[in-house]
Chains A and B, each alone.
Chain A
Amino acid sequence: MNRTDALDMVRESISSVIPGADVAALAPDDAFREALDMDSLDFLSFVEVLSERSGIRIEDEDTPRLTTLSGSADFLVARTR
């Protein structure tokens, strides 16, 4: 997966969990959980969706890497390489 696709996938996954979230306004290094007021249920759903879409199994230990758009995209790129 290239990084652009990965970024898109992260954005889409967020949007599907938080309908109406202004994903376009997120900067790559914004902590999106805070920015979008995602609680742990939201975040778990996000991880679930992202895992389903990317085909990657995401462990609890991986979740600290999923705090920003760019961090999440880097994680996906690294895992699919």
Chain B
Amino acid sequence: MAEFTMPSLGADMDEGTLVEWLVGPGDLVRRGDPVAVVETAKSTIEVECFDTGTMTKLLVEPGTTVPVGTPLALIGPAGERRPAPHAPEKGEPSEPVEPRTPPEPPSPPPEPAPVPASPAARPPGHVDAGPLVRHLAEQSDVDLGTLHGSGPGGRVTRTDVEHAAAARTGAGPPRARVTPLARRLAAELGVDPATVRGTGRQSAVHASDVRRAAPGPSAPAPPASAAPGPPSAARPAEDRAAAMRRAIAGLMSRANRDIPHYHLSTTVDMAAATDWLHEHNRRSPIGERLLPAALLLKAAALAAREVPELNGFWADDHFTAGEGVHLGVAVSLRGGGLVAPALRHADTLALPRLMNALKDLVTRARTGRLRGSEVSGATITVTDLGDQGVETVFGVIHPPQVALVGFGRVTDRPCAVDGLLGVRPVVTATLSADHRATDGAVGSRYLTAVARLLQKPEHL
């Protein structure tokens, strides 16, 4: 039994309409005979069959549109027919059967449960917004759930999001015009480009403006170009390192001058965390392994959520809590220098995501590809000097933040546990905090929280 299928009649044909059968059931057909008329987007064509035999069954009614390859009829008992290459083998109905539906008509996917049209009927928490709008909202840190959509049926529109974003940032200043180089340099120098006065056309911020704005002694313009000569690749890098040094110098001097620091320290038992980490890493593909730093950062972020007095900024003689926990991560750069870009919403990231975000952030910090919100958005900073082998960090706060958390190396120490002396991995966690914003009691609540959180690594 052979099938007569909807033929491919041209390079652009995907489906065709059966207009007319030129033969009926029981008719004898010969290879090459026209047996049907098919209409395509371009024309109506008589199509031939490639088998000799009896038309046993017409499967498709005239007027039906089917994809190329759909069986239209069965031709049987054939003489010496070989099946067409790759023609799907089919059972052979030798007596009349109910007209079959074609095997694979492109039927639409099952309808999703219909969404009620009336906003009132919408389930709580549901926000009607398109992907563009969602993307925009995410970018501008607007919670769609808090918006009243002005579009049809209460749909949240792009304008709604833009208004909300503008309202949140106060007067809603237009986005600063900053050249890509200036933006990159600002990231490297720890300068918020939005605060730099631009001298370019329409107040565009150029690299030179950022250099001038970088904190540091008198912030001189970069050395004037020497006499034209073969450009040296080394010079700009040295420039950059020197400028960064000046920026760090300025920032840290300000911190030590303006911030009355207090320091707290505690020793955290890392046995549970280390065991859990080993077990996790043993089970995971190598690309998904975690470093102890990931656990420490997550604990620091969760603790900051518990103790919001340490998560935010001191400016104009008062404390403003940060919106979300954005963990500044101190990253030392090759060839010297330091940046502390923000791991945004670190308290909400599951460990694997946090680990990936950390890798990504460090890579981009070292290649000068940080985003603006990362450069200036940190609400509390963590310095993990464990890699360098030190035990205790006595940190300096990054103004205008009010706290800096330090971790040393995870190291084995003799420890009294349940009255017995044992060897346990421990880490020294320290807190440097701004006494203007908080007192020691708050700080000690924070460190205690860190220590507690690290005892339940599976909940981090």
Q: Is there any pair of Cβ atoms, one from A and one from B, under 8 angstroms apart in the complex?
A: yes
Interface residues on A, range: 10 to 19
**What 9 additional pairs, Cβ within 8 angstroms, besides A48-B289, A60-B278?**
A20-B334, A39-B387, A40-B386, A41-B358, A41-B359, A45-B359, A48-B286, A59-B281, A60-B281
Give the number of chain B interface residues (Cβ < 8 Å).
16
23 A-B pairs within 8 Å (CB atoms) are namely A18-B334, A20-B334, A37-B334, A39-B332, A40-B291, A40-B292, A40-B293, A40-B386, A41-B291, A41-B358, A41-B359, A44-B289, A44-B291, A45-B359, A48-B289, A51-B286, A52-B286, A57-B286, A58-B286, A59-B281, A59-B282, A60-B278, A60-B282
Chain B nearest CB from A26 CB (Å) reads 16
What is the interface of chain B, defined by CB distance below 8 A to chain A?
278, 281-282, 286-287, 289, 291-293, 332, 334, 358-359, 362, 386-387
Task: State whether A48 touches B287 (Cβ < 8 A).
Answer: yes
Within 8 Å of chain B (Cβ to Cβ): is A66?
Answer: no
Q: Which 5 A-B pairs have the closest CB atoms?
A: A39-B387, A51-B286, A40-B291, A40-B387, A60-B281
When chains A and B are docked, how far (Å) is the Cα of A47 from the Cα of B287?
9
Please indicate the chain B residues that have their CB under 8 angstroms from the CB of A37 in the complex. Answer: 334
Q: Please classify the interface of chain B as helix (H, G, I), strand (E, B), loop, or mixed, using the class held by over half of its residues.
A: helix
Looking across the interface, which residue of chain B has its beta carbon closest to that of A39?
B387
Please indicate the chain A residues that have their CB under 8 angstroms from the CB of B293 in the complex. Answer: 40-41
When chains A and B are docked, how far (Å) is the Cα of A52 from the Cα of B291?
19
Please indicate the chain B residues that have their CB under 8 angstroms from the CB of A45 in the complex. Answer: 359
Could you say which of B286, B292, B358, B386 contacts A47, with CB atoms under 8 Å apart?
Answer: B286
Please indicate the chain A residues that have their CB under 8 angstroms from the CB of B292 in the complex. Answer: 40
Chain A nearest CB from B380 CB (Å) reads 21
When chains A and B are docked, how far (Å) is the Cα of A39 from the Cα of B293?
11
Looking across the interface, which residue of chain A has its beta carbon closest to that of B290?
A44
A13-42 vs B, Cβ < 8 Å mask (1 yes, 0 no):
000001010000000000000000101110
A41-65 vs B, Cβ < 8 Å mask (1 yes, 0 no):
1001101100110000111100000
Looking across the interface, which residue of chain A has its beta carbon closest to that of B277?
A60
Chain A nearest CB from B145 CB (Å) reads 36
When chains A and B are docked, how far (Å) is the Cα of A47 from the Cα of B358?
17
Looking across the interface, which residue of chain A has its beta carbon closest to that of B359?
A41
When chains A and B are docked, how far (Å) is the Cα of A39 from the Cα of B365?
14
Looking across the interface, which residue of chain A has its beta carbon closest to that of B332?
A39
Looking across the interface, which residue of chain B has its beta carbon closest to that of A60?
B281
Chain B nearest CB from A76 CB (Å) reads 15
Looking across the interface, which residue of chain A has its beta carbon closest to that of B281?
A60
When chains A and B are docked, how far (Å) is the Cα of A36 from the Cα of B358?
21
Please indicate the chain A residues that have their CB under 8 angstroms from the CB of B387 in the complex. Answer: 39-40
Looking across the interface, which residue of chain B has its beta carbon closest to that of A57?
B286
Please indicate the chain B residues that have their CB under 8 angstroms from the CB of A60 in the complex. Answer: 278, 281-282, 289
Please indicate the chain B residues that have their CB under 8 angstroms from the CB of A20 in the complex. Answer: 334
Please indicate the chain B residues that have their CB under 8 angstroms from the CB of A44 in the complex. Answer: 289, 291
When chains A and B are docked, how far (Å) is the Cα of A60 from the Cα of B288?
13
When chains A and B are docked, how far (Å) is the Cα of A58 from the Cα of B286?
8
Please indicate the chain B residues that have their CB under 8 angstroms from the CB of A41 in the complex. Answer: 291, 293, 358-359, 362
Please indicate the chain B residues that have their CB under 8 angstroms from the CB of A57 in the complex. Answer: 286
When chains A and B are docked, how far (Å) is the Cα of A48 from the Cα of B291?
13
When chains A and B are docked, how far (Å) is the Cα of A23 from the Cα of B366?
19
Chain A nearest CB from B234 CB (Å) reads 13
When chains A and B are docked, how far (Å) is the Cα of A56 from the Cα of B438?
51
Chain B nearest CB from A35 CB (Å) reads 13
Looking across the interface, which residue of chain B has its beta carbon closest to that of A51?
B286
Pick from A44, A48, A58 the residue with the most CB of B within 10 Å: A44
Chain A nearest CB from B449 CB (Å) reads 24
Looking across the interface, which residue of chain A has its beta carbon closest to that of B334?
A37
When chains A and B are docked, how far (Å) is the Cα of A60 from the Cα of B287?
13
Pick from A39, A45, A59, A60 the residue with the most CB of B within 10 Å: A39
Chain A nearest CB from B364 CB (Å) reads 12
Looking across the interface, which residue of chain B has its beta carbon closest to that of A48?
B286
When chains A and B are docked, how far (Å) is the Cα of A69 from the Cα of B126?
57
Chain B nearest CB from A49 CB (Å) reads 10
Please indicate the chain A residues that have their CB under 8 angstroms from the CB of B278 in the complex. Answer: 60
Chain B nearest CB from A60 CB (Å) reads 5
Looking across the interface, which residue of chain B has its beta carbon closest to that of A50?
B286
Please indicate the chain A residues that have their CB under 8 angstroms from the CB of B359 in the complex. Answer: 41, 45
Please indicate the chain B residues that have their CB under 8 angstroms from the CB of A59 in the complex. Answer: 281-282
Please indicate the chain A residues that have their CB under 8 angstroms from the CB of B334 in the complex. Answer: 18, 20, 37
Please indicate the chain B residues that have their CB under 8 angstroms from the CB of A18 in the complex. Answer: 334
Pick from B286, B289, B358, B386 the residue with the most CB of A within 10 Å: B286
Please indicate the chain B residues that have their CB under 8 angstroms from the CB of A40 in the complex. Answer: 291-293, 386-387
Chain A nearest CB from B281 CB (Å) reads 5
Looking across the interface, which residue of chain A has its beta carbon closest to that of B289?
A44
When chains A and B are docked, how far (Å) is the Cα of A18 from the Cα of B281?
23
When chains A and B are docked, how far (Å) is the Cα of A45 from the Cα of B289?
10
Chain A nearest CB from B393 CB (Å) reads 15
